[in-house]
């Protein structure tokens, strides 16, 4: 063919269109059913020009071209068909240094000489191997494997896998993060170097598994588990809010509710920051869900305490809101337990009181959009009739008698109860 600088077929050149040189026939000619005539051979063709000497199937230092360890000679006809010719001897075995990869199989087309392309591919593979070596060294060295950045990545992957529905994979990541925390000396030790990592690990681990994965410190701050906030420890010194009116509650639950009443109701204490509220919610929720089963020796106390336990866990999640990851699955699990104990409370005619109103309210707000939401609405309507509730203020008296913190999120309670109170019975 004649040698010109034009790299297009005649039809595309006349129409001043760009021509796809990667195919024997350009797409425009195929579409318009034109006779596609190239001024030069298309890029896919390696046919020798009439005026040129035949190409040599060699690369670099005169070794034959290699594909998958065998010699290959390609001849591409004008219609695009390719016929490889394989030699009987494996050149890859004779000179493996020239046969690392075939760039024409796995890599983008290049106009660089074959030897240069092979060197670039070799350097790329060496770079990948270097990265792999760094990862292996990081895993083998515990001081590197358990860095804060690594733990952040693992717990993030656990949340992503859980969101995709890969429960087993998510659980595998959580098990790994628990071993990392154990090697580091506990979640409190992790908090000493990176409070953000400790918060994210403890919180997300509970949300994706539906249960606490780490132990907590005691009320005085001793232990290697999840710690409380200073206000929690100070609240134990104030006995003003200790008693719940006419409620026989398990001592462990009485301790938790009394400290929270001091923190939320004491005007002398400063308002909690968002970080303090998160730490308090994480600590209290873990503490509530880690409580052992209550003794059935006193059924009345057991049912009341269990209702208070699960309703309080929902209340803390409502106050906290969504951080790092949705707590929807955990809230649904807690609501199932709350519903079970509220049904038991109803059988002993105790549900239509301040505790019943408070617990039903928690389930009604937390259960929006779930299958149990209607059940809590029905319980609220029955409580309204039984207690003669007329206004939101009547409901608020019952809520404040148990535990109440005036924040923006609790506007949802007023809205839900307003809907109930507007219904004429």
**Three-class SS of residue 227?**
coil
Which of 336, 338, 344, 333 shows the shortest CA–CA distance to 303? Answer: 344
pLDDT at 145: 63
Instruction: Kindly report, residue by residue over 270-309, the tens digit of the pLDDT.
Output: 788 999 999 999 999 999 999 998 777 788 888 899 999 9
Q: Confidence class of residue 190 from pLDDT cuts 50, 70 and 90?
A: very high
pLDDT at 42: 55
Show the tokens assigned to 166.
Answer: 């890969």
Q: Confidence class of residue 96 from pLDDT cuts 50, 70 and 90?
A: very low
- Whether the pLDDT of residue 92 is over 90: the answer is no
**Domain 1-51 grouped into CATH 4.10.240.10:** yes
- Whether the pLDDT of residue 331 is over 90: the answer is yes
Q: Give the strands of the sheet with 82-86, arranged side by side.
A: 66-67, 70-76, 82-86
pLDDT at 32: 81
Instruction: Kindly report, residue by residue over 318-330, the tens digit of the pLDDT.
Output: 999 887 788 999 9
pLDDT at 105: 47
Q: What is the mean pLDDT of residues 126-148?
A: 68
pLDDT at 379: 92
- Whether the pLDDT of residue 104 is over 70: the answer is no
- Whether the pLDDT of residue 123 is over 80: the answer is no
Percent of the chain with pLDDT over 90: 35
Contact of 214 with 333, CB cutoff 8 Å: no
pLDDT at 201: 95
pLDDT at 138: 62
pLDDT at 131: 66
Q: Confidence class of residue 186 from pLDDT cuts 50, 70 and 90?
A: very high
Q: Which range among 159-168, 261-270, 358-367 shows the weakest confidence by mean pLDDT?
A: 261-270
Q: What is the mean pLDDT of the chain?
A: 78
Q: Which range among 51-65, 294-308, 325-339, 345-359 shows the weakest confidence by mean pLDDT?
A: 51-65
For strands 70-76 and 82-86, give the pairing.
Answer: antiparallel
Domain residue ranges in the chain: 1-51, 142-209, 230-422
pLDDT at 324: 74
- Give CB contacts under 8 A, 24+ apart, made by 370-374: 370/332, 370/335, 372/335, 372/336, 372/339
Q: Is the pLDDT higher at 156 or at 16?
A: 156
pLDDT at 279: 95
Q: Is the pLDDT higher at 292 or at 424?
A: 292
Q: Confidence class of residue 41 from pLDDT cuts 50, 70 and 90?
A: low
Show the tokens assigned to 155.
Answer: 């717990």
Residue 62 Ramachandran class (φ > 0 left, ψ -120 to 50 alpha, else beta): left
Q: Per 3-state DSSP, what percentage of the chain is helix, strand, and coil (rounded to 5)?
A: 55, 5, 35
């Amino acid at each position: 063919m004649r040698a010109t600088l034009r790299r297009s077929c005649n039809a595309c050149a006349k129409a001043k269109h760009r021509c796809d040189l990667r195919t024997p026939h350009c797409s425009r000619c195929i579409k318009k059913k034109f006779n596609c005539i190239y001024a030069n051979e298309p890029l896919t063709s390696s046919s020798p020009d009439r005026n040129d000497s035949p190409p040599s199937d060699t690369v670099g230092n005169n070794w034959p071209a290699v594909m998958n360890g065998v010699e290959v000679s390609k001849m591409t006809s004008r219609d695009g068909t390719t016929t490889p010719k394989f030699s009987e001897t494996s050149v890859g075995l004779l000179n493996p240094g020239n046969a690392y990869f075939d760039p024409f199989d796995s890599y983008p087309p290049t106009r660089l000489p074959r030897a240069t392309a092979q060197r670039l591919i070799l350097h790329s593979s060496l770079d990948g191997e270097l990265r792999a070596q760094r990862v292996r060294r990081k895993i083998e060295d515990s001081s590197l494997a358990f860095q804060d950045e690594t733990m952040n990545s693992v717990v993030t992957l656990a949340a992503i896998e859980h969101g995709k529905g890969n429960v087993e994979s998510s659980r595998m990541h959580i098990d790994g993060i628990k071993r990392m925390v154990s090697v580091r000396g506990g979640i409190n030790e992790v908090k000493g170097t990176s409070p953000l990592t400790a918060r994210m690990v403890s919180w997300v681990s509970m949300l994706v598994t539906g249960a606490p994965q780490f132990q907590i410190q005691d009320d005085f701050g001793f232990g290697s588990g999840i710690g409380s906030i200073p206000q929690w420890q100070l609240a134990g010194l104030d006995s003003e809010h200790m008693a719940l009116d006419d409620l026989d509650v398990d001592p462990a639950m009485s301790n938790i509710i009394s400290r929270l009443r001091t923190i939320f109701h004491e005007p002398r204490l400063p308002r909690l920051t968002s970080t303090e509220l998160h730490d308090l919610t994480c600590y209290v929720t873990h503490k509530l869900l880690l409580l052992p089963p209550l003794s059935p020796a006193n059924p009345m106390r057991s049912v009341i305490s269990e209702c208070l336990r699960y309703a309080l866990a929902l209340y803390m999640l409502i106050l906290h809101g969504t951080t790092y990851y949705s707590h929807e699955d955990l809230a649904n699990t807690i609501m199932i337990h709350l519903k079970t104990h509220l049904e038991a409370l109803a059988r002993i005619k105790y549900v239509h009181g301040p505790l019943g109103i408070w617990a039903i309210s928690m389930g009604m707000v937390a259960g929006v959009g779930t299958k149990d939401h209607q059940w809590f609405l029905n319980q609220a309507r029955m409580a309204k009739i039984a207690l003669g509730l007329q206004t939101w203020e009547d409901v608020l008296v019952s809520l404040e008698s148990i535990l109440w913190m005036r924040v923006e999120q609790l506007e949802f309670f007023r809205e839900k109860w307003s809907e109930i109170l507007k219904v004429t019975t």
